[in-house]
Amino acid sequence: MLRRSKGQSPFKVTFGEQPRIGLESYVLPKSLVNAAKTEEEIEEFLTSHEANDKDSLNRDGKNYDENESSIMKHLPETFIKARKEAALGQSRAAAKMTRRAKKMLIPLQIGQNCTLRVPDVDRGPADPKHFLVVVMAECEGLYTVGCREGKLASKFTAADLQVISENILSIDEVPDTEIPLRTAVTKATGGQGYVKCMCISGCSSGCIMMQLQQKKSTVQFSMSPREVMQ
């Protein structure tokens, strides 16, 4: 996919040339390359001259030095050309993806009712996977939506919202209070008494799990031992 969008391999973009595989990785004299007709002849040459490999491969050292200096001279131009072609390829791929997205995603209208998928971290096991919202505003392809519990703080794209045929909820029914999606889902369903801790290493002092544990310990301390056992 990366090669298709850039029009060339990542190796060429990085080093300015295609990777050399097999005999292409060897530095061979021009006289041998011109005289050899098959790959087997070159392999025989490399095998027979393995002892004095350095001397045999540099017999045409003058021509090799000239070729190397010519390559090094034009290497920056090769780098720049390869990277420009890669940038153009990425721009074409991005434009193609944008055109495809515009064809697939129909712009939403203000007042339309949609369903919003609730991420797993924002809902309990028994909470609904989709939440009813109404489109309130649009800015640069991002939509502000609201529900009966309030206006959602996050902005959403058309891909996040699934339009429904019925207009069950109107903008007038949405309170002006701005709340996160998790809070809206909890208010609508009661949360089923399920919360998730997002602390990576231990619960912090302001964590909701820590607050629940402190509340639970306070309730148990105020109860008799028999009530705690029950």
pLDDT of residue 58: 52
Which residue would you say has higher pLDDT here, 142 or 33?
A: 142
Residue 140: its pLDDT value, please? 84
Mean pLDDT, the chain, as a whole number?
A: 72
3-state SS, one letter per residue, for the chain: CHHHHHCCCHHHHHHCCCCCCHHHHCCCCHHHHHHCCCHHHHHHHHHHCCCCHHHHHCCCHHHHHHHHHHHHHHHHHHHHHHHHHHHHHHHHHHHHHHHHHHHHCCCCCCCCEEEEECCHHHCCCCCCCEEEEEEEEEECCEEEEEECCEEECCCECHHHEEECCCCCCCHHHCCCCEECHHHHHHHHHCHHHCCCCCCCCCCCCCCHHHHHHHHHHHHHHHCCHHHHHC
Say which residue, 23 or 45, is predicted with more confidence.
45
Does pLDDT of 23 surpass 90?
A: no
